[in-house]
């Protein structure tokens, strides 16, 4: 909620390279033009990230549709390291006959409402948000608020941390399972909307 600050939760090294580079360029352009530049905050977990999830391009403003389907039952919005869990859940659901769209929101505090609205219309407004952050004030809360402000009818399940302080684990998946953020929990959340 800090003015002139843009927050990103990065999913892979390609996205990190593209968005950090674009932010540096945009910062330099603003300074050169005599404007106060925005601040950029990037979160990248400690997991072993893949080089890419297959996005063709990355943008400081646009969400990336990582998995698409012409007739999705649900849209899954997954940020940061949890994109991999969302894709695993989408694969499990697809094998059982339920298709989903998986979207990486990229920018957390200025949601790309247009991209989400397009896909939510095809999914009957069903949305699952997944983040390794507190539910209060997190990506899911900001995204659903922005969508509701634009008049989008929603049926939502939001997965995130429920008011606990951070903890350590040998592998992040241990914490994702503990907090109900892993692929199995995402599958369960999607099915609860159907």
Largest Cα–Cα separation, the chain? 56
Q: H helices within the chain, ranges in order?
A: 13-32, 83-95, 113-122, 139-149, 172-178, 183-193
Instruction: Provide DSSP, 114-125.
Output: HHHHHHHHHTTT
Q: H helices within 33-167, ranges in order?
A: 83-95, 113-122, 139-149
Q: Is 24 buried (19+), middle (13-18) or exposed (0-12) by CB count in 10 A?
A: exposed
Identify which of 72, 131, 66 has the alpha carbon closest to the alpha carbon of residue 103: 66
pLDDT in tens, 134-172: 788 899 999 999 999 999 999 999 999 887 776 776 678
What integer pLDDT is reported at residue 147 of this predicted model? 98
The strand pairing partners of 64, in sequence order, are 104
Q: Is 188 left (phi over 0), alpha (psi -120 to 50) or beta?
A: alpha
Both tokens of 11, joined, read 């999913």
Encode the chain (194 residues) as per-residue pLDDT tens digits: 788 999 999 999 899 999 999 999 999 999 999 999 999 999 987 677 788 888 778 999 999 999 999 999 999 999 998 999 999 999 999 999 999 999 999 899 999 999 999 999 999 999 999 998 878 889 999 999 999 999 999 999 999 988 777 677 667 888 889 889 999 999 999 999 99
What integer pLDDT is reported at residue 170 of this predicted model? 65
């Amino acid at each position: 909620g800090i003015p002139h600050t843009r927050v990103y939760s990065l999913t892979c090294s390609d996205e990190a390279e593209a968005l950090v580079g674009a932010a540096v360029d945009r910062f330099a352009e603003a300074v050169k033009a005599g404007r106060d530049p925005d601040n950029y905050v990037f979160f990248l977990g400690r997991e072993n990230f893949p080089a890419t999830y297959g996005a063709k391009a990355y943008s400081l403003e646009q969400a990336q549709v990582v998995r698409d389907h012409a007739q999705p039952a649900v849209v899954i919005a997954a940020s940061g390291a949890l994109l991999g869990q969302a894709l695993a859940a989408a694969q499990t659901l697809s094998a059982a006959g339920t298709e989903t769209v998986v979207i990486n929101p990229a920018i957390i505090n200025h949601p790309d409402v247009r991209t989400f609205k397009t896909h939510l219309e095809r999914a009957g407004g069903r949305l699952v948000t997944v983040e390794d952050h507190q539910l209060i004030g997190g990506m899911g809360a900001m995204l659903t608020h922005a969508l509701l402000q634009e008049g989008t009818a929603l049926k939502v399940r939001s997965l995130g941390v429920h008011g606990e302080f951070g903890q350590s684990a040998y592998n992040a998946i241990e914490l994702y399972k503990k907090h109900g953020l892993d692929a199995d929990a995402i599958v369960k959340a999607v099915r609860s909307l159907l």
